[in-house]
Amino acid sequence: MQTYRVVISPEAESDINDVYDYIAFEVMAPETAVRYYMGIYDTIEKLPLVGAMLAVSQQPYLRRLYGVDVRTIRFKKMAIIYNIIGNVVYIRRVMAGSLIR
């Protein structure tokens, strides 16, 4: 079984930080923000082993933005959007799953 190295784009890092800030400062739930933040990273840490096993997305919106080989994995209501390029799982964005049309 091949394992992959994970690279997180600056946009995805910003997305994750924005989710944290929203929960911590807008919702005023800092402990929940930490758990959510850690949950996103725990999900990303699974991708070296399971990333290639997940199906390529058929969502036209995602395919148009991130290519025909784009994949997603969910953490709660968030979609972690990634591509596999060689032996790298490249995390492109992290967004609310409801935004994927």
pLDDT tens digits along 27-38 = 999 999 999 999
For residue 66, give the nearest of 81, 87, 47 by alpha carbon.
81
Backbone angles phi, psi at 95, to 5 degrees: -145, 165
What's the whole-model pTM score? 0.94
Tokens of 54: 């997940």
11-15-98 Cα angle (round to 5) = 115
Q: Give the rounded percent of residues in the chain with a pLDDT score beyond 70.
A: 100
Question: For position 27, which CATH number holds?
Answer: 3.30.2310.20
Q: How many domains does the chain have?
A: 1
Provide the residue range defining the domain that includes 72: 5-99
Task: Give the model confidence (pLDDT) of 15-67 as tens digits.
Answer: 999 999 999 999 999 999 999 999 999 999 999 999 999 999 999 999 999 99
